[in-house]
């Protein structure tokens, strides 16, 4: 079984109040998997089109100075949050955050990207978009989307993972990732199947689910199977709240540009409405 074993972790932060929590999540995974950690910041400001060449040159000089200041500030935050034992590197580039995160993840190369979700909703999300969503839609590696950035958490803990499955190949990959994370963090794992067809027998689906989970997964961590009836996204969110899950592991198909413009898939709904952090596992469509 192909296990999830990240060796390079790319942690993207800004200077919002949630930066410390994002760093703590990245450090948690770096320590659990003994991975190299790079802290990345995209310094982005787009000049007006009417700027002259002289103004653009002056702006470029200011931007370089600002990158040095940003790097110093990130180093200060990392020193206070991570302490002396956690090893890390810092990189600051100028450009659009999502594009730079994806480029840096490819260049590193990163096995895991850690980003924060600021929870924009409605018109604000439509107008401004979401860096986390843009990264999730296009990343070739798993993306950990940290939620609850407004909460003051001294040190995140992952004691309970929730992995929704639908018996597909991507769901199998998510299960492999979930079991590897659960083993590394000494957490228990709940595997959930949502029966959306009203005619399905929950008892039979539970037997199918138990048979579908391989013995190798059961040997890695404490595991329980759950089957619930109803819309998949709603059942995932409900069970995560009821059982106080610390992390949800979800699969995401890479789609065409036209398909990416449509909203409402299970992964997108959970990503937008969950209060629990989410590890998104991508699978590129052939």
Q: What is the pLDDT of residues 93-103, one digit of tens each?
A: 988 899 999 99
Query: Residue 285: pLDDT above 70?
Result: no
Q: Choose the weakest-confidence range: 47-51, 137-141, 193-197, 242-246.
A: 47-51
Look up the CATH architecture of domain 160-284. Answer: 3-Layer(aba) Sandwich (3.40)
Q: Choose the weakest-confidence range: 58-67, 139-148, 180-189, 212-221.
A: 58-67
Cβ–Cβ under 8 Å, residues 96 and 73? no
Q: Which pLDDT band holds residue 283 (cuts at 50, 70, 90)?
A: confident
CATH topology for the 8-146 domain: Rossmann fold (3.40.50)
> Residues 6 or more apart from 33 whose CB is under 8 A from it?
5, 6, 7, 9, 184
Query: Residue 75: pLDDT above 50?
Result: yes
Give per-residue pLDDT as tens, 126-157.
333 488 888 998 999 999 999 987 766 668 89
> 165 is written with which tokens?
């499955």
CA dihedral angle for residue 228, residue 266, residue 25, residue 172, rounded to 10 degrees: 70
Entry pTM: 0.88
Q: Do domains 8-146 and 160-284 have the same CATH topology?
A: yes
C-alpha to C-alpha distance for 205 and 208, rounded to whole angstroms: 5
**Residue 3, pLDDT score:** 75
Q: Which pLDDT band holds residue 18 (cuts at 50, 70, 90)?
A: confident
Cβ–Cβ under 8 Å, residues 220 and 180? yes
Question: What rounded mean pLDDT belongs to the chain?
Answer: 86
**Residue 123, pLDDT score:** 42
Q: For the chain, give every domain's residue range.
A: 8-146, 160-284
Give per-residue pLDDT as tens, 219-265.
899 999 999 999 999 999 999 999 999 999 999 886 654 454 444 58
């Amino acid at each position: 079984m192909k296990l999830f074993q990240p060796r390079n972790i790319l942690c993207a932060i800004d200077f919002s109040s949630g930066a410390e929590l994002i760093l703590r999540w990245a450090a948690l995974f770096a320590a659990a998997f003994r991975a190299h950690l790079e802290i990345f910041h995209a310094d982005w400001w787009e000049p007006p089109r009417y700027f002259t060449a002289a103004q653009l040159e002056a702006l470029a000089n200011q931007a370089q100075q600002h990158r040095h200041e940003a790097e110093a500030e990130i180093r200060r935050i990392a020193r206070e949050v991570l302490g002396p034992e956690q090893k890390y590197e810092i990189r600051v580039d100028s450009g659009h955050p999502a594009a730079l995160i994806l480029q840096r993840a490819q260049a590193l190369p990163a096995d895991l990207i850690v980003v924060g979700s600021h929870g924009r909703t409605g018109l604000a999300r439509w107008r401004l978009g979401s860096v986390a969503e843009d990264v999730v839609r296009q990343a070739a590696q798993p993306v950990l989307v940290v939620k609850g950035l407004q909460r003051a958490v001294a040190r995140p803990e992952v004691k309970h993972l929730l992995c929704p499955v639908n018996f597909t190949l991507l769901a199998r990959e998510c299960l492999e990732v979930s079991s590897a994370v659960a083993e590394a963090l000494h957490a228990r794992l709940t595997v959930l199947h949502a029966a959306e067809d009203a005619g399905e027998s929950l008892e039979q689906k539970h037997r199918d689910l138990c048979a579908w989970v391989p013995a190798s997964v059961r040997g890695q961590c404490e595991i329980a199977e759950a089957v619930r009836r109803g819309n998949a996204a709603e059942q995932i969110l409900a069970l995560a709240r009821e059982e106080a899950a610390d992390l949800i592991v979800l699969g995401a198909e890479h789609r065409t540009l036209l398909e990416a413009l449509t909203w409402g898939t299970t992964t997108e709904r959970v990503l937008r409405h969950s209060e629990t952090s989410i590890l998104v596992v991508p699978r590129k469509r052939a």
